[in-house]
Amino acid sequence: MEFVFPNDSHIPWSIMIVLYPYITGLVAGAFVVSALYHVFNQQVFRPVAKLALVTALCFCSCATLPLLLHLHHPLRAFNIMFTPNVRSAMAGFGFIYSLYMLLLIVEVWLVFRPDIVERAKSHTGATGFLYRVLALGDREITPGARTLDEWFIRALAIAGIPAACVLHGYVGFLFGAIKANPWWSTALMPVIFLVSAVVSGIAALLVLYLVLSRWRRVVPDAECVRALTRCLWISLVLAVSLELLEMIHMAYESGAEWHVISSLLSEKLSVSYGVIQLLLGSICPFVLLLIAMQRRIRPAVANILGGTAAVLTLVQVFAMRWNVVVGGQLFSKSFRGFVEYSVPVGGREGLVAVVIVLALPLGVLWVAAKLLPLWQHEESSDTEMVSS
């Protein structure tokens, strides 16, 4: 510690700043799957199209919680909107997040509008009143109105693709713009954050679909699971390749900072980087997903392999966020010393708060599943198959 500057002896960005890009990444990745169905007409994703869209909205509604818990005066966050600074990258998140949240709300409302109107007519009491409010007074949807809704859904999905990229690429942009930190200040940082966001979103959606299907006692659609597995494998290969490429580039340059970064990876982050991020989170899912994609594998076995790989991938992305955010603060600016950091159990930035923040989006999703028919397309298609 003798080489650590007095103003560099603690970690200013804690685990809540790790959760912030992690949750926003789940939003972007889940929306990509929804866009594959609504924009590119990939019918194989039909069983999870609604789930993906609602999942993106639920996680987006909780994306700001880690930042607010990290701030000592969270009410000051509103100053971004009241006194905007268009040249501030951090202030830009307020506008990007607000626009993307509005886009998700409108698209979800348009997708579920026929169901909301139908339930407004069939339900009574407080529930019926809630549906009538959500229906905005509509009692019937004509075929022409539904055609117009579908056009708007497609338009919003198209606009949402670059919006999702900006939402999470912006997080990597913030880290990449910090020139004082050699680990963060790379041109690949925004791309790495964006691709890993897609990885985490697809993995989370695959886990949710398998778990909810088992809870509903419904057999998951084998083709849909195989398509999600394939997308997850491709995005995982791309994300890991970019992460390794960044490290190889630093090692090849062998700048003044490389000796402390290499020592950090081999000592302080040997478990979180070498074991969790690379071995368990990258190599193991790569092999499991490669096996699960094979058509000769039974669907039940493919579900187990794909679900296990998806869980390991979620751990990998979280470890990557930890290694970048926390690991990038563990070495002193003198490049000759390390800082100690341990996550407390209690407090607003402790492990208990982390569990609560991660559980809140799932609770919101549970409420949304009670209000909105997430599985109607699947059930209606099954009914059509039986009647035919």
The winner for highest mean pLDDT among 127-141, 242-256, 283-297, 328-342 is: 283-297
Kindly report the CATH number assigned to the domain that includes residue 90.
Answer: 1.20.1630
50 within a domain of the structure (yes/no): yes
124 within a domain of the structure (yes/no): yes
**What is the average pLDDT across 147-151?**
94
295 within a domain of the structure (yes/no): no
Domain residues for 212? 13-245+343-387
What's the pLDDT score for residue 5?
A: 56
Residue 3 has pLDDT above 70, yes or no: no
369 pLDDT band, cuts 50/70/90, is very high
What's the pLDDT score for residue 253?
A: 83
What's the pLDDT score for residue 168?
A: 79
312 within a domain of the structure (yes/no): no
**Whole-angstrom distance, CA of residue 204 vs CA of residue 197:** 11
165 within a domain of the structure (yes/no): yes
**What is the average pLDDT across 30-34?**
90
72 within a domain of the structure (yes/no): yes
281 within a domain of the structure (yes/no): no
Q: ∠316-297-36 over CA atoms, to 5°?
A: 60
What's the pLDDT score for residue 337?
A: 72
6 within a domain of the structure (yes/no): no
**Whole-angstrom distance, CA of residue 223 vs CA of residue 44:** 6
CA distances from 103 to 29, 60, 75, 210 (A): 16, 11, 24, 27
Model pLDDT for residues 263-276, shown as the tens digit of each residue = 888 888 999 999 99
The share of the chain scoring above pLDDT 70, in percent, equals 93
Give the Cβ contact number of residue 51 at 10 Å.
23
Q: Which tokens sit at 31?
A: 């929306």
Pair 18, 318: CB distance under 8 Å: yes
**What is the average pLDDT across 5-28?**
82
The domain tally of the chain equals: 1
**Whole-angstrom distance, CA of residue 141 vs CA of residue 153:** 15
Q: Which tokens sit at 55?
A: 């999942």
The answer to whether the pTM exceeds 0.85 is: yes
The share of the chain scoring above pLDDT 90, in percent, equals 55
User: Which of these ranges, 20-34, 49-63, 72-86, 173-187, has the smallest mean pLDDT?
Assistant: 72-86
Residue 2 has pLDDT above 50, yes or no: no
**Whole-angstrom distance, CA of residue 62 vs CA of residue 22:** 11
Residue 336 has pLDDT above 90, yes or no: no
What's the pLDDT score for residue 385?
A: 34
What's the pLDDT score for residue 383?
A: 37
379 pLDDT band, cuts 50/70/90, is very low
